[in-house]
Structure 1
């Protein structure tokens, strides 16, 4: 379920892209500093968005460095560091570990089990720091797995479980913005789950694995139904987002919410139509 919360680069100003990249590079460096190469492998754009969102809302002090790394050995690049980038790194480890566990239960892939074991110690440290948060995330992912064992599941129920996962991740502080952050995360999480199911439908049919859209895939209005579901979810997320008093990097965040996530949908829809041809 990673890789859907991205920018629409052609619609972004150059200066905004440089800022976005500095957060991504800062998260990459933090993942390496905290967890080594095994952590850096888990790096994804979704948690870069979370770091940007929380940094924009709470406006922490930034430490900005100009550095080289093994991916950019010649030219120095900007890296942003702050407490919410650290938090995003820890949530990346938690979600990656639990995703490996889920993939192992579903597909019995040894690579997932091996990576899970590699992340075990780091995951336990995150769990010790955020016991209640990780408990809720674990419970919701277990519930998703239980739904997947049933013959008939309503998409609203199962996507709501991942909505609660993202709500928990977004609500880092207990303050006046918690309600809006939870609402935003809940509908963003539902959007991610539905788009992931839409993306995987052919693969799941081929391998006879669970997908909430299997019964609807051959219906003539399948594409239209999926689009409207996604539109409902991201609209509710956007409504909650606009209640947050974010000024710092707000145009980057809007690029992602209003455009970037849809670019991922359009990419997958185009690929499906090309495959049919």
Structure 2
């Protein structure tokens, strides 16, 4: 996989660190635990075409060297608020899906984030309401063992598309809604595909398995090709919307993710190689696919 120039990797790192600082400043140290590449990409999508002049400071992860980061902007604040809301409900979903002991980690993390969630929900009540609504709908589909893969994926896709609701420009908001919708659809489906064998053993709901009749969690060639086509369709729709807006300095990062990174992750999942490499190498490959390819 081709690695981005150092300038672009550094730009991503500044956004990543900027979101970390924004989370900490708005919601306290506990909120930093939710930081990940997915939420950083959300911040980048919401950012202005020009990068804000970076600041430099030491932090817990870099206590000696000054590290450059993006100062708090409206985009980072929106991304931080929405990230806290999404993370909190993901943790609550984890509590519901696991027993007392297996769900203990989820309970502790959700409790630590509860204060931040309440503040974020008060700041973004519309987004919080949409997340609640879509997760409740998804829970109903899971409870009914809904065989419609598209219906389940649509529910999560609408949830992610709602993250663009705070964007003022109507054209930009529409572009981001389309990108986030199809990204949400792709994420939901690829996660379900990645969990096929695990869900076959546990008996957990998996709409991909139901759609293609995969009782043992293993693909037949015809189903694999059909599923690859529906994944590719979502990526093509992301790309179509992406080309309608000027993302400025963020374009190289987003372009490499849309046109290379998503395909690379999807191929690894479908080939069954995504979890076969040693953990250290898997993290490196996943990081490159998300951050630098």
Query: When the two structures are superposed, what TM-score results if normalisation uses the length of structure 2?
Result: 0.84
3-state SS of 1:78 partner:
strand
Partner residue of 1:200 out of 167, 186, 195 = 195
What residue number does 2:257 align with? 256
Deviations 1:62-111 (A, max 9, x none): 25212222222233221012221121111111111000111222223122
Structure 1, unaligned stretches of length 5 or more?
Answer: 1-7
The runs of at least 4 aligned residues of structure 1 exceeding 6 Å deviation read none
Is residue 242 of structure 1 aligned with residue 252 of structure 2? no
Deviations 1:133-163 (A, max 9, x none): 2111110011111100113331111111111
Partner residue of 1:37 out of 13, 29, 43 = 29
What residue number does 1:66 align with? 56
Moved more, 189-198 or 72-81: 72-81
What residue number does 2:284 align with? none
Is residue 107 of structure 1 aligned with residue 90 of structure 2? no
What residue number does 1:5 align with? none
What residue number does 2:205 align with? 210
3-state SS of 2:155 partner:
helix
Inter-partner Cα distance in structure 2 for 1:151 and 1:198? 16
Moved more, 174-183 or 232-241: 174-183
Partner residue of 1:139 out of 128, 133, 143 = 133
Give the CA RMSD over aligned residues.
2.0
Bigger RCO (CA 8 Å, 6+ sep): 1
Contact 1:65 1:78 in 2 (8 A): yes
Structure 2, unaligned stretches of length 5 or more?
Answer: 277-293
Deviations 1:211-253 (A, max 9, x none): 1122333451232222111100111111111111222221111
Is residue 184 of structure 1 aligned with residue 175 of structure 2? no
3-state SS of 1:11 partner:
coil
Inter-partner Cα distance in structure 2 for 1:183 and 1:171? 12
Partner residue of 1:87 out of 78, 83, 87 = 78
Query: When the two structures are superposed, what TM-score results if normalisation uses the length of structure 1?
Result: 0.88
Structure 1 residue 175: deviation in Å?
A: 2.6
Inter-partner Cα distance in structure 1 for 2:177 and 2:227? 24
Structure 1 residue 11: deviation in Å?
A: 2.9
